[in-house]
Amino acid sequence: MEETSSAPSYEKKKAIRRDNIGLGVSLEILGIVIGVFYLATIIGPIVGLILFGFGYSIVRQRRYVCMNCGNELQSESRLCPICRATYDG
């Protein structure tokens, strides 16, 4: 008798955005405001660009969840530790 695995196999993990989008957008807006209002100084645009970059990187972060049980996974993981679902990509 052959044993069949009860764990499902998926092509890829479900990628969703992190829950801190508000912080990223706020930093982007603050960076633009500081950059524009202090355009006459040399430090204003530099600080504005740095804040905008931090905000952009926060907004672009993703997290991966198992499509079977909803457990959060690392981006490089191929096996869910909770339900043992496997991922090929």
pLDDT tens per residue across span 12-52: 666 665 556 677 888 888 988 988 888 888 888 999 899 98
Q: How far apart are the first and last CA of the chain?
A: 31
Task: Tell me which of 2-16, 47-61, 69-83 is least confident.
Answer: 2-16
Q: What is the mean pLDDT of residues 8-15?
A: 64
- Residue 66's pLDDT is 81
- Residue 3's pLDDT is 47
CA distances from 32 to 14, 28, 81 (A): 32, 6, 42
